[in-house]
Amino acid sequence: MGHLGFRECSVADAEKLAVHLAEHVAHKERRPEQVRVELLTRCRAESIEPPTPGRCDRIVAAALRAAEESLTAVAAIAHSRVSSKKAWFSGMRWVSQPMAAGPESLPR
């Protein structure tokens, strides 16, 4: 432990911080300066010394990039689901004539 119970930010800490920011902050907040504020808040909560400004920039950029990739993947999945439903519905043929008799008149 360093000064006042805070430890230096390790590579594992930086990766963990980037993942946390991507999952909990960067999906809603796209402004790097705001994500940086959340990074420093998280460091304080985890008793991690604040990273250098350059390292903060890299952690924030990694979090924003991961959130962007995640959102793009979710959008692509949603689009493919909508496209497949449209294809299914366009293949359906609707019968516009009323049934002459009950269900027994349907072909088997």
Is the overall model pTM greater than 0.95, yes or no? Answer: no
pLDDT tens by residue, 63-86:
999 999 987 877 777 767 666 655
Q: What is the three-state SS of 36-97?
A: HHHHHHHHHHCCECCCCHHHHHHHHHHHHHHHHHHHHHHHHHHHHHHHHHHHHHHHCCCCCC
Any idea which residue has 């027994």 for tokens? 104
pLDDT at 102 over 80: no
d(CA 67, CA 28): 9
- Checking if the pLDDT of 88 tops 80, the result is no
Angle between helices 11-24 and 32-45 (to 10 degrees): 120
Question: pLDDT tens digits for 7-54?
Answer: 999 999 999 999 999 999 998 999 999 999 999 999 999 999 999 999
Which pLDDT score, from 0 to 100, does residue 77 have? 78
